[in-house]
Structure formats: structure tokens, C-alpha cells
Structure 1
Amino acid sequence: MKYLPATVYVLLALVWGSNFIFVKWAAESITPAQITLLRVLFGFVPVLIFALARRALSWSHLRHLHHFVVMALLATAVYYYAFAAGTALLPSGVAGMLGGAIPLFTFLCAWIFLKEETIGARQVVGILLGLGGIILIAAPWSSDGQIAPLGVAWMIGGALSVGSSFVYARRFVTPLRLPAAALTTYQIGLGLLFLLLFTDRSGIEALLGDRRASVGLVLGLGLCGTGFAYIAYYYLIDRLGAVTASSVTYLPPIVALFIGVVLAGEDITPATGAAVVLIFAGVACLQRFKLPGAAVVALAAVRRRAPR
């Protein structure tokens, strides 16, 4: 048990980093909306079981339903859909690297919407470096068509969505001091409801024709990449603290790039490699502003410190 936190830390980085290749495989058979629906469906199951086991759910929480709805949209439905749509159009390694820019957009959202967040020279440099890396990946001046601008736009939209969810949670949800397991269950459950209502499910059975894609989506993207990931993150926060746990979010882009290049045979140009350096340098410059890289980490950390 001595090395269990470190083992979970590494597993979580591997699970999150592999999400992009699973999306890429599934996109060959079904639409991004259907990918998102199945991901949330199979991710919701372990999260619900976990919350029930912790006895974290309560009917009294329904008075905060409007906040849960906002989080379900920003941090689940829109976020996952945008990343699925972007990954379907991009090499999985490139999509993973763009996902690594989430802290950049989180800071921008916080600076715009939270009065207490100020911006200094270091943060300006970080923003410019990160944006420079994204532009280098998109390469709007290039005519070879290797990187789809629409795919980059979807990834940026997803990063903005989840980034704004951190700000919303910090301002309106964290003060409620509700159990993190409950907040995640409500968020993913309501996100699932929205996806069930608005997703065209015709042709979704085509996924069953591709064993690799179906196993990857259900097991890798849903049960592990969504359900296990949240539970593992709670464990790391409890054992290592929120700041250390949040550092795991910087590893998945590296894992995604490795999988894309080494295992999937994707071509990564020197310019893309330079973009990775710029994005990570930009994120490093923003470390004074610490928001964890999953939608409820801050909430879980507050809950740990809350009086019993």
C-alpha cells in the first residue's frame, strides 16, 4: 500500500492520455455526439456507485439544481462533445496536446470573470506562449491541410467550456461545501440526461462492428477514462493533497503524443513539437494561479478542509 498513491497517479495519467486515441477509433464508426453519450453513460455508472457507497447523495441538494445544470453543460456535455468533435478531425496526439492548454484557458476565464484574479508580466508571457503554441499547431498560413482548423477550434471551445466551469464552480458551487462525490454524480447524471434528449442515436450500433473501438470507448473512455478517473482523483487528493494531485493533469498530453506517434503511427512535425514546448512553458508561467485540471478537484479539496 506504500506505493499505491504513486501507482494511481501514473495510472490516471495513462488513462487520461489514452482517451484521445479511443475517441479517434470510435469516430470511425459513430458521431462525436454519440461518442460523448456513450462515454458519459459508462462513466456515470462507477461514479454513481461510488457516491451511493459514500452515502453522499441527498434530496436536500436539489435546491442547488440550477448550479448542477450549469456544471453539467460546461464541464460534461459541451466539454466532452467539443473534445470528441475536435479529436475526430485531428491526429490524436495533436488533440491531446491541445487538451494540455486547458489551464491556459482556465486562467483567462478566471482573469475575466473573477475580480480577485490579477494579471502580471509573468501571466502575460504565459498566455502569449500558450497561444503561440496553439497557433503553431493550427498553422493558418499552411496550405497542406495536415491540421484541420475546425478541429483546433473545437478543442479550444472545449478548453474554454471546462475553463469557465472552474470559474463558475469556484464562485457559486464551492461555497456550498457539498460532497465532491455528490457534485460529480449530479454533474455527470444531468449531462447524461441532456445528451440522451438531444443526441441522434441512429446508427450508434455501428460501433459494435469494430471490436477495438467498442472496447476502447466502453472500457477505456467510459468506465476508466471518466468513472475511474474521477474516483482516482478523489483518492489522490485525499492522500497527496489537491496541489500535488492536480499536477497529474500535465502528463496526459505527453502520453497522448507518445501513443499517437509510437503506437498509432501519426506524423508529428518539428513545428508541432515546438508547439508542445510553448504550451507547456505557457502553463508553467501560470502556476501562480492554481486551478486543478478536473471539474471538481477544487470542490473536493474544499470539502476535505470543511469542518465536520
Structure 2
Amino acid sequence: MQNSKLKWLYLVILSLVWGSSFILIKKSLVGLTPMQLGALRTLFAAIFLFLIGFRSLKTISASDWKWVTISAFAGTFIPAFLFAFAETEIDSGIASILNSTTPLVTLILGVLVFSVQFNKNQLIGILVGFVGCLALIFEGASVNPNQNYWYALLVLCAAVCYAINVNIIKKYMQHISPMAIANGNFIVLVIPALIILGFSGFFSADVIVDPKVQTSLIFVAILAVVGTGIAKVLFNKLIQISTPVFATSVTYTIPIIALLWGVLDHEKFTIYQVFAAGIIILGVYITNKSK
């Protein structure tokens, strides 16, 4: 399949997978603390990736490891904890909406730091999509006035981390296979994750036998294997066969899936949010339209 068609397939798959990740985070937090969730998500994903692609690590040269390490913390480790803490105070659907600022941040960082070129359609599309995101945020705030929206800043910080990661992969790791990047990321993160988990109180006897914790571990395992492990490989490939702006435009379609899950989980949702979601889709179309 040609890259022009393949990138859209990846975009759809990642939208479905990552759109479902926010509700999985919410369910995982029923029995786990944010620190435990972030650490376990990293460790489960690491185990899965090592089983299917550990040999790919030998293709990473010594000079590449600094970029792999930065990518690991910016693209995976830090956001995992930021989202976990954020969803202790804001709905999963709202968190996914705030994550939609990633393409805008990616374009800004790409132009200012990584010398990335952009065209008028990309700028217009990002701004249109961003307007849709703002509409969703304001509507969400009116529907859920009791939520602490200061925690929304954590999601915005995660968006900055994602933007850094995407630009680094596109500029410095084009020659490394997506599987090798993913495995390299997690070989770097295993020790930090184990240290955090050890200090989180997870290994206390009363924690491990708690039925809520055991149920949460199932959700974390699904989140780690599908939402982090498999999705990480697909996203790395998407970055390599498209542009940073196209790759991060997946964050514009993620809220649609996340909000649908939120409705099923009895989160409040209005017709205005449906309209805002339509604006987001329009933004994605304009961003990726030919010059």
C-alpha cells in the first residue's frame, strides 16, 4: 500500500486505540494511584515490546541513543504520569480534548526549533481544529463546573512533550525502524519505572490483594499493550511516512472516540460538543489537503 493511503489507515487505527486510552486510564485509577498507573503502564508495555522486538535494539547505533532517550521520556514516560494525575480531577473526554493542542504545539516547535517548513493549509487547518478544541473545552467546563481545571495544565504539558518527541523522531531518527525506536525507548525507561513503582507502595500486601487493584491491573495491561506498545510502533511509522503535523493530527480525532466512551461511562455530553467535534474533523481535512 502506498504511503499516502497507508498513513490514513494508521491515523484511523491510532484514533480508535488512543481514543479508548483515556477511559482505560480512568478505570485504572479506581484501584491505583497515578504514580502506580504510570509506572505499571510503562513496565507492561516494555515487557510486551521486548517479547516481540528485542532483537531490533542491535540496529540502534551508539550515537542514536541520546535521541532515543529524549524520545523515551518526552514521548512516553512523562506524559503517562501527567495524564494519570490529570484524570484524577477532569473527565477522560476533556483530557482527550486538551490533548488536541499537540499539532499546534508541534508546528510551533517545529518552525522555531527544528527548522521545519509548513504551508498555509497546515496553519489554517490547525487553527480551525484548535477552535473546535476550544469550543469543546468551554462547553465541557459549563457542563462540569465542579472539576478542577488547573489539572488541565498537566495535559497541556503532555502535549508539549509529545510535540518535542515527534519533531525529534522526524529529524533525527528517520533511519531507525519504528520497532527499534519503541524498544529503545522502553529499555531506557524500565529502571526509572521500577524505582517509582517501588516507592509508590504498590508492593504492600494489602494493596496487591485488593480486588479493585486487581481489576485495575487488567485495564492497565490493555492500556499498556494496545494503547502504548502497539500504538507506539504504529505512531513511529506514521511519523516517518508523513509529516509531524499529519502524525499529530491524530489528536484531533481522538476526542471523538474518547467522548463516545465517556458517554457510555455516564460522563455528561451535549449537542454542542458534537458540533465542535465536526469542526475538529474539518481542521484535520484542511491540514492534510494538498497545497
Give % identity. 23
Match 2:261 to one of 259, 262, 266 = 259
Instruction: Give per-residue Cα distances to partners, 1:260-295, cap 9 Å, x unaligned.
Output: 10x201101344334333433333332269xxxxxx
Distance of aligned partners of 1:7 and 1:43 in 2 relative to their CA distance in 1, 3 Å threshold:
same
Cα RMSD (Å) of the superposition? 3.6
Count of residue pairs the alignment pairs up: 274
Aligned-residue offset at 1:144: 6.2
Q: What stretches of structure 2 of length at least 5 have no aligned partner?
A: 1-5
Tell me: CA distance 1:9–1:153, structure 2 relative to 1, closer, same or farther (3 Å): closer
Q: 1:107 to 1:286 in 2, by over 3 A?
A: farther
Is the CA contact 2:19–2:257 (under 8 Å) kept in the aligned structure 1?
Answer: yes
Asked if the contact 1:24–1:87 (Cα under 8 Å) also holds between the matched residues in 2, the reply is yes
TM-score between both structures, scaled by the size of structure 2: 0.77
1:77–1:194 CA contact under 8 A, matched in 2: no
Please tell me whether residue 197 in structure 1 is matched to residue 195 in structure 2: yes
| Paired position in structure 2 for 1:287 | 288
Who is 2:172 aligned against?
Answer: 172
- Cα 1:93–1:286 change in 2 (3 A) is same
Q: Secondary structure at the match of 1:88?
A: coil
In 1, Cα distance between equivalents of 2:34 and 2:270? 26
Check 1:276–1:151 CA distance in 2 against 1; reply closer, same or farther (3 A cut). farther
What residue identity is the alignment partner of 1:128? L
Question: Any conservation in 2 of the 1:107–1:286 contact (CA below 8 Å)?
Answer: no
Gaps of 5+ in 1: 290-308
State the 1:180 CA deviation.
2.2
Matched, 1:92 2:99: no
Contact 1:138 1:152 in 2 (8 A): no
Matched, 1:152 2:155: no
Deviation at residue 249 of structure 1 after TM alignment? 6.4
Which of 39, 45, 53 aligns to 2:41? It is 39
Cα distance, 1:66 vs structure 2: 1.6
1:33-112 → structure 2 map (5 Å cutoff) = 33-52=35-54, 55-58=55-58, 61-112=61-112
1:48-87 deviation digits (Å, cap 9, x = unpaired): 12213xx322286334322121111110111222222223
1:258 deviation in Å? 1.1
Match of 1:18, as an amino acid?
S
Q: 2:218 aligns with which of 207, 215, 225?
A: 215
- How far apart in 1 are the matches of 2:116 and 2:12? 34
Contact 1:133 1:278 in 2 (8 A): yes
Instruction: In structure 2, give the amino acid aligned to 1:67.
Output: W
Change (3 A) 1:45 1:128: same
Deviations, residues 198-252 of structure 1 (Å, cap 9, x unaligned): 453214664743144221112x211222223345668x87xxx945x96876654
Under a length normalisation based on structure 1, what TM-score does the superposition of the two structures give? Answer: 0.73
SS at match of 2:108: helix
Cα distance in 2 between the residues matched to 1:24 and 1:145: 19
Q: Following the alignment from structure 2 to structure 1, what is the Cα–Cα distance between the partners of residues 123 and 131?
A: 12
Aligned to 2:274: 273
